A and B are shown apart, each in its own frame.
Chain A
Amino acid sequence: MTCSEFQKHIDPFLDNEVDLATAQEMQRHLEECADCETFFAGRLALRQCLQTPELRFVPATDLRSEIHAQLRKEIRPPSAHFHWLPRLQFPNWILPALAGAAAVLIFWFGSTTFLSPVRSSKGANNTLIEQLVSNHLRSLVGNHLFDVASSDQHTVKPWFAGKLNFSPPVFDFSDQGFKLIGGRLDYLGDEEAAAVVFQHQKHYINLFVWPRNQSTTWSDTILQKEGFNLYGWEANGLTIWAVTDAAPETLKTFVELEKQRMAE
């Protein structure tokens, strides 16, 4: 090995990033060449200098607990609305809900690696999409699909009335295959949202509704994320997002029904 070869590799050698054969050659060269040994000693001294612990900057205040406090603000504030209703009141939906959740999980794990987005989510806020999917998923696996279980829109709608300062659209489309099964309160970021829950065969649809504001976006097309299909739109001063594991065509049909009925 020549001196210029040695000096070319000296930094990866110092950093343990050369292969074994090169390292051995360099070691041999070091033993033979005083100039290169001096050069290498300079590098070692520089490393020792830079690795002096006192050279590092350490945060003066308790940065860790400040971060902790800030992160706590990020997660959903606990709400007095989240009552756990006695389970015995709904023995007829717990099993299907759990079975549905299990199916969704299997589908989800299987599909995340294979499905690419149908459309790009350009124009729609990615954080919002993630939140929607996460809220949808949580409603299924957390055994907390709704706070009020009813297929009667005249029960579900008044239930929201006492809890929100806006009125979400609540319709039953049982005749078209989308059965209203309940409602619950949810949060998207800091926004209180209504979640109206529908069942289509073995699939659930969460319809998230909250008052339109500047920071929220909508897609007006079907988006796909982690195996779920989403469609967001705006109507009557509300932002509305439907999230489901049902097929894109099914979601499209459902959204058309909602749009029609809301326009009436």
Chain B
Amino acid sequence: MDLPEVELCDRLRSLPMNDQERLTRFESEMLPLTNDAYNLARWLVQNDQDAHDMVQEAFLRAFRFFHGMRGETSKAWLLRIVRNVCYDHLRKRQVLSNSSDSDQENLPDTNPSPEAALQTKSEIAAVRSALSKLPEDFRTVLVLREMEELSYREISEITQVPIGTVMSRLARGRQHLTDLLKQMRAKDLL
């Protein structure tokens, strides 16, 4: 993370702007992150329509508090809002601790590159199912680390837990997932 750039962005953001300027600046900084936001929301709330709504709500909140963003990268800041919106939603639905059904819908047609670890649609579905069975805290850090490729520090900002906790959740999450996948292989599910 390039700190001077973050500081410069902070300064630019705090300049007085009219609404149109604010919207333009916000969109050029944030809209490219739409798919990242959706991916995280989708892994947290576990269905397409809710994830869709969560992302829209998160962008609205982000826009309202855009000028208050300080000392963080856009991605870490936006994903923290996405996570908060999703948690609010989950708390309302009280499904935070329940793992949901496996995700079979919305799978992209497989067109794997030669080095892709997962070759077929059913393999992807199986790994998705395993990952969505993980406790929510573990799933979040794994998605942020492996899919969004964020640093421990950024993950700590997003999930609001110390870096040491991020580290141990990643370790336990990976172990848990490895075991789950092994079980599935043993049952010939993968």
Contacts and interface: CB of A to CB of B under 8 A. Distances in A.
B177 to A, nearest CB: 7
B23 A57 contact: no
A66 B56 contact: yes
A137 B16 contact: yes
Nearest to A57: B42
Main secondary structure of the interface of A (DSSP, over half): helix
B31 A54 contact: no
B7 interface: no
Interface stretch (B85-93, B94-102, B142-150): B142-150
Contacts of A51: 117, 146-147
Contact of A56 (B18, B27, B52, B147): B147
A137 B128 CA distance: 49
Contact of B34 (A53, A59, A112, A142): A59
Contacts of A76: 19
Interface in B137-159: 142, 145-147, 151-152
A161 interface: no
A128 B64 CA distance: 11
A60 interface: yes
Interface string A112-156: 100000000000000100100010011001100000000000000
Nearest to B64: A127
A72 B142 contact: no
Interface in A44-70: 45-61, 63-64, 66-68, 70
Contact of B23 (A61, A72, A127): A72
How many A residues are at the interface, by size bracket?
35 or more
B73 interface: no
A17 B117 contact: no
Contacts of B128: 55
Given A15-B170, A59-B52, A68 B39 contact: no
A177 interface: no
A17 B110 CA distance: 33
Nearest to B30: A67
Contacts of B131: 50, 55
Nearest to A77: B19
Given A12-B167, A51-B147, A66-B56, A57 B124 contact: no
A42 B117 CA distance: 13
Contacts of A80: none
B20 A75 contact: yes
Interface of B: 14, 16, 18-20, 22-23, 26-27, 31, 34-35, 38-39, 42-43, 48, 51-52, 55-56, 59-60, 63-64, 67, 106-108, 110, 112-113, 115-118, 124, 127-128, 131, 142, 145-147, 151-152, 167, 170-171, 174, 177-178, 181
Interface of A: 10-12, 15, 17, 42-43, 45-61, 63-64, 66-68, 70-72, 74-76, 105, 112, 127, 130, 134, 137-138, 141-142
Given A54-B112, A57-B42, 19 more contacts: A11-B171, A15-B152, A17-B167, A46-B178, A47-B146, A49-B127, A51-B117, A52-B127, A56-B39, A56-B147, A57-B38, A57-B51, A59-B48, A67-B31, A68-B31, A70-B59, A70-B60, A75-B19, A130-B67
